[in-house]
Amino acid sequence: MHKYTHRLVTRKGKKDGRNWKYIFWPFKSEKPIEPKPDQEMPPQFETEIVKAAENDVAKEAEKWKELDQKLKPRYCQAVAALGNARKKHLKESEEADLAKTEFDAAKGKYEELTMPALDAKWRNLWLIFIAIAEFPLNSIVFGILGSGRLETYIISAGLCVAIPLIAHFFGQSIRQENKNSTDIILMITMPVTILLILGAITFIRAKYFEAMVHQDLIGISITPTQMTILFIIINIAIFLVAVMVSYEGSHADKKRFKTITSRYKEAMKRLQKEATEAIEAGTEVAQAEQYFQQARQHRLKSHEKFIQAIKTIVDGGEWLVSSYRAANLRVRKDIPKCFKQQPQSPAIPEELLILDWECNGQAGGKEQ
């Protein structure tokens, strides 16, 4: 439409509106007026202007279609990514809510429990400390009783493990309010086992070293028999201390306590896991939302830019048509019937005005 300038259009309007034309200056001859007074169809020149404008609109429409072949797939990818992120976030949020409900229930039962006087961590720490402290005491005793170094270390290490472990099971069994057959058996067998172990060791050592002379321990004269008795007293005392530690560190209903505590810890771990996943899913939604808005706004602004260019073409065509009519009417005395009608306006395809947001059945819609 660039060839239709305002000057060209007004000159053409005047020329068509006159009833004469120059043969050669200054001589004139008559000619028909264009458009004719009774003509109802738009003038041919007007139609040419409108067609030229519509051709320019069609070219812009093709440019938009070419650009939108890149913009719409990107937008649809953003729609799909956002939909998937929201579904994932909803799923993770529901799982986090379920984990929170389970945790609250487990926490309620856990808080109803009567805790042992001694925390399990401290109980275990004290039992380990007793086992470690027992090693050098027994090593000294066996050294005095004449045992070799390797034998001393083996027996001492065995007692360090056996005595606190047996004491733990014995103290735990005593602590139970509702004792089952296992607890009763342990209560009977554990002390007997300790006595048998200590008795066997002392009997063997006493028989083997009956003829040993007095030994001097840190300036104190002591016989193997006396050291054997001291050995039994020390280990029984250690056993009783370990029993007390285990008793104070055990729950009256160990099975129920273990079950509820285990469920509470598992519920806490699951809640932490699900809450973390829900937060991560929420971050993904925010990122997907940002990408979606960027893709949508880019496409929308690009479309608005093309629509503005097309409207400029249409406005230009309407202006040229009006200029043609004004110039035509200035040189004639009548008003043709076609000028009494609304001027022609370049048509804009409806599908170009309405931006399609449909993405293969995904949420989109249409916006104008």
Q: Sign of torsion, CA 344 348 350 355?
A: negative
Give the pLDDT of residue 363. 44
Closest CA to 193 of 236, 130, 241: 236
Burial of residue 333 (number of CB atoms within 10 Å: 0-12, 13-18, 19+): exposed
What's residue 171's pLDDT?
A: 75
Cis peptide before 224 (omega within 30 of 0): no
pLDDT of residue 181: 78
**Residues 305, 71: Cα–Cα separation, whole Å:** 14
CA trace torsion 326, 328, 331, 336 (10° rounding): -100
Give the pLDDT of residue 319.
94
* Cis bond upstream, residue 35 (ω within 30): yes
Look at residues 190, 188, 176, 167 and name the one whose alpha carbon lies nearest to residue 255: 176
Please state, in angstroms and rounded to a whole number, the distance separating the CA atoms of residues 110 and 259: 10
Q: What is the pLDDT of residue 217?
A: 45
What is residue 20's DSSP assignment?
E
Token pair recorded at residue 37: 């007074």
Give the pLDDT confidence score for residue 172 in this predicted structure.
75
DSSP strand pairing (27-30 vs 20-24): antiparallel
The helix/strand/coil state of 222 is strand
Q: What is the DSSP letter of 357?
A: -
By DSSP bridging, strand 355-356 and strand 366-367 are: antiparallel
Q: In the structure encoding, which two tokens stand for residue 140, read together?
A: 């000294």
What is the rounded distance in angstroms from the CA atom of residue 195 to the CA atom of residue 240?
12
All residue ranges of the chain with pLDDT < 50 are 211-220, 362-368
pLDDT attached to residue 213: 43
